[in-house]
Amino acid sequence: MGAMTTSRPRAAGAAEPGDADAALAAAARGDQAAFAAFYDATAAAVHGTVLRVLRDPAQSEEVVQEVFLEAWRTAARFDPGRGSARGWVVTMAHRRAVDRVRSSQAGSSREERYGVREDAPYDSVSEEVEVLLEHEDVQRALDVLSPVQRQAVDLAYYGGRTHRQIAEDLDLPLGTVKTRLRDALLKLRDAVGVRS
Amino acid sequence: MNGRDERQQRPGDDEALAGAWALDALDDDERAAYEERLRREPAERRAADELRETASLLGAAAAVPPPARLRADVLAAVAATPQEPPAGTAPVADLAVRRRRRGGPSRWSALVAAAGVLVAAAGAGVALDARGDAERARQVAEARREQQRTAESTLEQVAALLASGDSVTVQVSSGGTATVVRAGDRAAVIAAGLPAAGEGHAYQLWLVHDHGVTPGAVMPQAGGQDGPAVALVEDLGSATGLGLSVEPAGGSQQPTTTPVVVAPLPA
């Protein structure tokens, strides 16, 4: 699993992740000003994640608010041994956004708009990602992915599709999709320097 | 990372799912099974955590600042929202350190006094029932010990208390009983026959002091059809009683509902 340099998963390219970590730790002790700093350090990532998945600004704002309230309530449960504070809150946001996509009827109309038919290429999603990419490490890493790896990652992370759905969408064996998603993230991990 | 797909025991219990898990691309059942697997396999969990941290960069890479008014909304909501204690049955002493404000004398002191009257009126017959509850709770503790390594020491301490401590049982206002067993500075609470706490809620233990209350463990097993649930207090400090209230499932820093029971600590 690569060189062991530090004791926790950590994105080397993330902008000053320690700020968010320290702010969240203070917020866990009830410090509202520290929580405001945590919000400032992570709100764009949280909002962008949710917006990318839901594509509806009003719903996205609602989810962002829910996510930060959950982060405030459960700040004491953040385990810095398992990743960064930004990773923690972005993960929380992504899960909520995906849950909403999967549980809502809007999911089906959304699927039509951003579907995965052969002639409605996933590339439209990737292109937007490229436009909005925040930092070069991830950009470089995405270039490292093969087109089919990138397609699978886009469908899963930005499209909110399960690996079973992706297998159906792309008419691939489930095992192939599982492996593809894992290998893509391993490659991405090595490119951006997340290490534990 | 091998190809055991066809031989896996349960969908989701599969090392190869690390990527799909990190990307939130598992359905709920698979995710539960995979996360159970991660609890068994620390090395896999570390690797999976790395992939999840990596996946979160895909979100960070899509960053779009939210509208400015959202910040004010969030911070206003935060100011009105109590925080939850760490998950699980953390020692109460730790929670007390984390607590920032102490409540005033409040209604709790009066409730302790009222509970004392209730116990006196109920008489010795109730105390006899406590032993039956205690025995059933001990069996529950034994069963859970096999399932939850992290709770092991807590439950052993509860079992020890059940064997040696003095107990008092009080009726819970919403139904059922709460038995408090005390030995020195430590105590256990056995909640039996309580109504379900409701979706997204759980019973939480409180230490009642003359000056207010401090938070105790959340008891996710308490209430509903399950058997008696137990929680341990490691250090009673100045507490004169223990209470239970219904709180959001993660627990609260201060009670947000009227306690369903307050029991005085046995001497």
- pLDDT tens digit sequence for B152-168: 555 566 667 767 777 77
Q: Exposed/middle/buried for B5, CB within 10 Å: 0-12, 13-18, 19+?
A: middle
Cα atoms found within 13 Å of the Cα of residue B203, Cβ hemisphere only: 30
Point out the residue among B54, B56, B65 whose CB comes nearest to the CB of A47: B65
Q: Which residues of B118-157 are buried (b: 16+ CB within 10 A; e: fewer)?
A: bbeebeeebbeebeebbeebbebbeebbeeeeebeebbeb
Say how far apart CA A192 and CA A13 lie, in whole Å: 6
- Residue type at B75 in one-letter notation: L
- pLDDT tens digit sequence for B21-64: 999 999 999 999 999 999 999 999 999 999 999 999 999 888 89
Check A84 against B16: CB less than 8 A apart: no
pLDDT beyond 50 at B193: yes
Check A181 against B23: CB less than 8 A apart: yes
What residues of chain A, 58 to 117, have a C-beta less than 8 Å from chain B? Answer: 61, 64-65, 68-69, 72-77, 82-84, 86-87, 90-91, 93-95, 98
Structure tokens at A145: 């992915």
Check B58 against A158: CB less than 8 A apart: yes
Give residue A137's pLDDT band: very low, low, confident or very high (50, 70, 90).
low
Say how many Å lie between the first and final Cα of chain A, rounded.
9
Residue B264 Cα, gap to closest chain A Cα (Å):
30
Give residue B87's pLDDT band: very low, low, confident or very high (50, 70, 90).
low
Check A132 against B14: CB less than 8 A apart: no
- pLDDT tens digit sequence for A162-177: 999 999 999 999 999 9
pLDDT beyond 60 at A187: yes
Nearest CA-CA partner of B178 in B251, B244, B255? B244
* Residues of chain A found within 8 Å of residue B2, distances taken between Cβ atoms: none
pLDDT beyond 70 at A105: no
What torsion do the CA atoms of B168, B174, B176, B180 make, to the nearest 10 degrees? Answer: -20
Check B50 against A9: CB less than 8 A apart: yes
pLDDT beyond 90 at B240: no
Q: What is the pTM of this model?
A: 0.56
Q: Give the chain B residue whose CA is nearest to the CA of A195.
A: B50
Give residue A38's pLDDT band: very low, low, confident or very high (50, 70, 90).
very high
- Residue type at A21 in one-letter notation: D
**Main-chain dihedrals φ then ψ at residue B169, nearest 5 degrees:** -120, 135
* Residues of chain A found within 8 Å of residue B20, distances taken between Cβ atoms: 156, 162-163, 177-178, 181-182
Complex-level ipTM beyond the 0.90 threshold: no
Q: What is the 3-state secondary structure (H, E, C) of chain A?
A: CCCCCCCCCCCCCCCCHHHHHHHHHHHCCCCHHHHHHHHHHHHHHHHHHHHHHHCCHHHHHHHHHHHHHHHHHCHHHCCHHHCCHHHHHHHHHHHHHHHHHHHCCHHHHHHHHCCCCCCCCCHHHHHHHHHHCCCHHHHHHHHHCCHHHHHHHHHHHHCCCCHHHHHHHHCCCHHHHHHHHHHHHHHHHHHHCCCC
> All domains of chain A, ordered by start, with CATH?
14-106 (1.10.1740.10), 114-196 (1.10.10.10)
Point out the residue among A72, A164, A183 whose CB comes nearest to the CB of B78: A72
Residue B124 Cα, gap to closest chain A Cα (Å):
42
Say how far apart CA A182 and CA A189 lie, in whole Å: 10
Point out the residue among B53, B65, B84 whose CB comes nearest to the CB of A74: B84
Q: Give the chain A residue whose CA is nearest to the CA of B5.
A: A175
Say how far apart CA B137 and CA B206 lie, in whole Å: 20
Structure tokens at A184: 């893509």
pLDDT beyond 90 at A17: no
| Most trustworthy range by pLDDT among A29-38, B8-17, B243-252 | A29-38
- Tokens 């359905």 map to which residue? B27
